[in-house]
């Protein structure tokens, strides 16, 4: 069985190298697709894209539990970090990488990595290769261009990452421009992280967060406490950005929260509530003041009465 698995993985790597390094004609055993604005993905391609984006989401939030559920314990991680034209390369077992990162957990910061282009090859529905051109952002500022290559294999009928490799190239300073929409999407992402300090890291050290005209939480420690309250109440909480309205002095971030009240003394009810935060950003592109608003009466009703 080990010999068979080694052969499969070796075959996968060889096919992946051929696919991503040259142009070849497709046949009935594999299909290459390049992302375009009018691309229509089939169901299996959509599933793979969703899984890759789930991985990026989890990596950006340092969510190792999710990562371990979608990455095979047999996987390798290969990286090429390019700085000033010099590449520093490494290969490590994914389990070793996770353990190393967990040990430096307190040092970790959130990031957001949207993909601009995908290429996908699927071999007989059992092995897949996904190429992704992504840009890693930190607090709304693009930092590096990452070209990511993923090999996935079916394990018990589910896709799992069996190989992850990427090149990481620092962007020139002139391209590191603050993007408030990316900042807002990153902010929504960290509300799903179960890491309260990731939320407060989007605020100035003396920043303020108030909810429904309540007493403001002042400073990152107090803001972390507010975030922790919601994260504890909704362990599966997902926050999405609905829209953004930015003016010269204010930014309105509209959001929707979905979660199950399964925290301590929770009702077990599902909640879906929308609202907005009105931000004042400082010169560093962090939130100096946020005034949050949502329908608290409706929120309480959903907590107390089960809804579909």
Q: How would you write the pLDDT of the chain (308 residues) with one tens digit per residue?
A: 434 444 344 344 433 443 443 333 434 333 444 444 457 899 999 999 999 999 999 999 999 999 999 999 999 999 999 998 888 999 999 999 999 999 888 888 999 999 999 999 999 999 999 999 999 999 999 999 999 999 999 998 999 999 999 999 999 999 999 999 999 999 999 999 999 999 999 999 999 999 999 999 999 999 999 999 999 999 999 999 999 999 888 999 999 999 999 998 899 999 999 999 999 999 999 999 999 999 999 999 999 986 65
Q: What angle is formed at CA 226 by the lines to CA 225 and CA 230, rounded to 5 degrees?
A: 110
The class level of CATH for 180-304 reads: alpha beta
pTM assigned to the model: 0.86
Pick the CATH number of 2-175 from 3.40.710.10, 1.10.10.60, 3.10.450.50, 3.40.50.720: 3.10.450.50
pLDDT score of 18: 36
Q: Which two tokens stand for residue 171?
A: 């962007």
Closest CA to 204 of 276, 278, 290, 275: 290
| Residue 263 DSSP class | S
Q: Which two tokens stand for residue 40?
A: 């229509």
Exposed/middle/buried for residue 88 (C-beta within 10 Å: 0-12, 13-18, 19+): exposed
Q: Which two tokens stand for residue 10?
A: 């070796």
pLDDT score of 9: 41
pLDDT score of 307: 62
Domain ranges for the chain: 2-175, 180-304
């Amino acid at each position: 069985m080990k010999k068979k698995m080694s052969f499969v993985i070796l075959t996968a790597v060889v096919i992946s190298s051929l696919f991503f390094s040259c142009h070849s004609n497709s046949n009935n055993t594999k299909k290459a697709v390049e992302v375009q604005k009018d691309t229509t993905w089939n169901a299996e391609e959509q599933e793979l894209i969703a899984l890759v984006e789930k991985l990026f989401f989890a990596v950006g939030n340092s969510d190792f539990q999710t990562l371990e559920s979608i990455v095979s314990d047999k996987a390798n991680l290969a990286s090429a970090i390019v700085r000033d034209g010099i590449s520093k390369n490494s290969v490590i077992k994914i389990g070793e990488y996770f353990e190393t990162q967990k040990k430096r957990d307190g040092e970790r910061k959130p990031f957001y990595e949207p993909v601009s282009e995908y290429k996908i090859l699927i071999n007989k529905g059992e092995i897949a290769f996904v190429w992704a051109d992504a840009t890693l952002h930190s607090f709304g500022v693009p930092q590096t261009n990452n070209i990511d290559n993923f090999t996935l294999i079916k394990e018990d009928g589910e896709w799992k990452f069996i190989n992850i490799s990427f090149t990481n190239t620092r962007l020139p300073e002139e391209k590191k421009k603050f993007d408030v929409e990316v900042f807002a999407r990153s902010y929504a992402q960290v509300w799903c992280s179960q890491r309260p300090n990731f939320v407060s890291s989007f605020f100035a050290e003396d920043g303020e967060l108030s909810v429904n005209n309540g007493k403001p939480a002042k400073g990152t420690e107090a803001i972390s406490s507010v975030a922790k309250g919601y994260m504890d109440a909704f362990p599966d909480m997902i926050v999405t950005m609905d829209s953004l309205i930015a003016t010269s002095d204010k930014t309105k971030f509209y959001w929707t929260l979905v979660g199950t009240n399964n925290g301590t003394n929770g009702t077990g009810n599902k909640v879906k509530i929308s609202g907005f935060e009105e931000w004042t950003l400082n010169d560093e592109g962090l939130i100096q003041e946020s005034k949050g608003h949502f329908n608290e009466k409706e929120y309480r009703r959903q907590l107390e009465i089960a809804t579909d």
